[in-house]
Chain A
């Protein structure tokens, strides 16, 4: 009788422990998902800000064209070449704005681009941090053995050049 009770107790405790581990992992997957949504939104905001700048008066037409082209290809890039296209947009921005002396009319647009570029950096660090935590958790033997991750795919890092232009 005592043996049965002890086994039952162990099973109940094990159940609680497994449920706790599964909850942690579920939460991590949720964190990656919200972070990815925030990163997508931040990238879209930056592309929109660059297009706004490119359309504004006071920018050299050739520079404006290259900015608009880079922003558009970043917006349209498919999953595979998104990182490259977004990095290219960062480089184009730096090439256009580093050390430039823009007229006052552009200042609101430049402010919006600066804030949006900062937002991309923030969102990317938070996303990759969540991915790192999730991947580490999924390396655990218990989680692999019991397939606690279920069918959820292994999250991928988002690697890009997000250095902002100098102001």
Chain B
């Protein structure tokens, strides 16, 4: 197997973007009608691939039969709530779902099957079992102690070893995979749908005359760093009578550090929907991402960049990388409210600098735009397909796994 070079093989002529439309089957293990990161990822990926000229079919569990489904979605059955990976996931499993998965694969005629979270005991695992042919898998979980993954890793191996290409959405997701299952994966980050955030009306009454700072994220999760921002606001606000703080996100904030007289200038919006989220990014003069760490990839940050916000963010490595080392947004020392107050204050006083940063952020975020990310994923498909169906022994494309073949025992090592 070491010397399988074939002299007659030449480089493909088609470029990645123009690789021709492929038939892609995507499997999402979580209920489509429940909002979640993986579902969002799969939806954005499917829509971008379709715009690029590929044919896409997405298989996912759907609980609510009245839920409006996109054209590309094929329901895989009703999900049941299962405690998985530290929270309750809505998954589909069982013989009826398995039969639907097999039928979807048999009738789909896919060139490549892209399975998300293949270890999730749902349609993803069923699809891994049922399919044979070019398989791509994306790992989203970054959980160093994922019981689901380690307890079953030996059993999982026989399933995961069918996968031709493994993709991880973040460095920590890659580490989780390597530690539990072994092997390696390429890193392709989550995309941000720039079109969704590019343009939006500010929320009524914002940004206002006296200057404003925006924040978005869970309010009761210390790692999101709201405490640092509140402390910085407490330093800035007394000298700036019109300054307001816009805080959006679920949870109860701890405002005990903010003096009574300033509290009315901290405006809490609570949980907001997607449309208001886009508007919130356009509603403040300065957008702040004060996270203390633990962010493998700042999705909030890239959304703010897509909206062209003037950003001041903590200098954790993930943020510094996304903000091009400070070129696309100001960085302050993580957890240091004085430094944040100084940086945010300087930005509030310099509209020219804010316009510059806004322009730079819009430019830098293009690398994370779904158009770019989906092109990279299509490149993975082309790489996997480059060797598929060439040896004449197996047909190309995805088909239903015929199970063990006794012939394999007789065929040992026949190929070079």
Contact = CB atoms under 8 A, between A and B. Distances in A.
A, B co-complexed: yes
Interface in B1-47: 1-6, 9-12, 15-16
A45 B186 CA distance: 19
Given A121-B186, A133-B161, A137-B161, A37 B4 contact: yes
Nearest to A33: B4
B277 to A, nearest CB: 31
Interface in B375-389: 376, 379-380, 382-384, 386-388
A156 B2 contact: yes
Interface stretch (A61-69, A85-93, A94-102, A145-153): A145-153
B162 interface: yes
Given A34-B388, A79-B3, A153-B2, A41 B9 contact: yes
A45 B12 contact: yes
B186 A122 contact: yes
Contact of B394 (A30, A133, A148): A30
Interface residues of B, number: 48
B387 A38 contact: yes
Q: Is the interface of B mostly helix, strand, loop or mixed?
A: loop
Nearest to A18: B409
A30 B415 CA distance: 9
B412 interface: yes
A156 B413 CA distance: 16
Contacts of A123: 383, 386
B186 A26 contact: no
A35 to B, nearest CB: 6
Nearest to A48: B11
Contact of A122 (B1, B157, B165, B403): B165
B3 A42 contact: no
A118 B383 CA distance: 11
A110 interface: no
Nearest to B166: A129
The residue among A16, A22, A25 with the most chain B CB atoms within 10 A of its own CB is: A22
A54 interface: no
Contact of A26 (B9, B380, B408): B408
A37 B1 CA distance: 11
Nearest to B414: A150
A105 B408 CA distance: 54
Interface of B: 1-6, 9-12, 15-16, 132, 157-158, 161-162, 164-166, 182-186, 376, 379-380, 382-384, 386-388, 390-391, 394, 403-406, 408-409, 411-415
12 contacts: A20-B404, A24-B158, A25-B408, A27-B161, A29-B413, A32-B4, A42-B383, A129-B166, A130-B164, A149-B412, A150-B411, A156-B2
